[in-house]
Structure 1
Amino acid sequence: MFKLPAFAAILVSLAACANKSDEIAASFVSPTPYQGMTCQKLAAEAQVVANRAAAASTAQDKKASNDAVATGVGVVLFWPALFFIKGDGSQAAEVGRLKGEMQAIETANTANNCNIRFAS
């Protein structure tokens, strides 16, 4: 029979798992620094931020995947594996900040009528 402490540990470990990058909301970043840029500089900055966001998202997704594996192993085979679940941290904050920067660049793009196309 399931014991309450074991069940509680499983619930806590599931709540502590890292989120996938697409589940992380964008943080607010002011578009003001970008609004004074030329369209060419804005496009170059968008490319730099997009590349950094892609790398940060890949790292966050790997972290989420590792947490999911540790949870599965902990629940099914070896409960001490639950202690290896790290959850969200600075990597998730970086993903949110970079998403916010992309939104700020898109806002400046619209305000400056640059017609830069952004991929989702």
Structure 2
Amino acid sequence: MISRFLNKSADSVMLGDKSVKIPKLTPEKYKLLFERIETLPSIIVNVLAARHSGDFVATLIVGANLTLDEAVGIVAVLSDIDAEYISKNADLAEISEFIRLTLEKNDLQRALKNFRAVLGQFVTKPASPGDGKTEA
């Protein structure tokens, strides 16, 4: 197991017995990803809302199971491998490593920064007094 981690490159990861290339997140992949993660916020809210209730442990367990299913679904979408295969063959370390390397490769913080800069070019400033416009 340790040798697998030492010998793998940052360009791929093992999911079960399959070597999977870390994907480039294209707009198509982003759309598929956003469709998969739409339930995660509600899972988090439900767990947090139940934290001071008698149902917290049960809610936490259900939330953890749902989150694990969502993580498998996300990896399946991004890796183009069947979710059932991942669920039966990949361990949590492989799944989390795949997600981490995907986030690192695609540098989402830089993408958001660039996107904000582009949007900033299109935002118009409100008219200020003395800009040449006259009121009727």
The two structures share one fold, judged by TM-score above 0.5? no
Report the TM-score when normalising by structure 2: 0.29
Relative to its length, the structure with more strand (as a share) is 2
- Higher Rg: 2
Structure with greater helix share of residues: 1
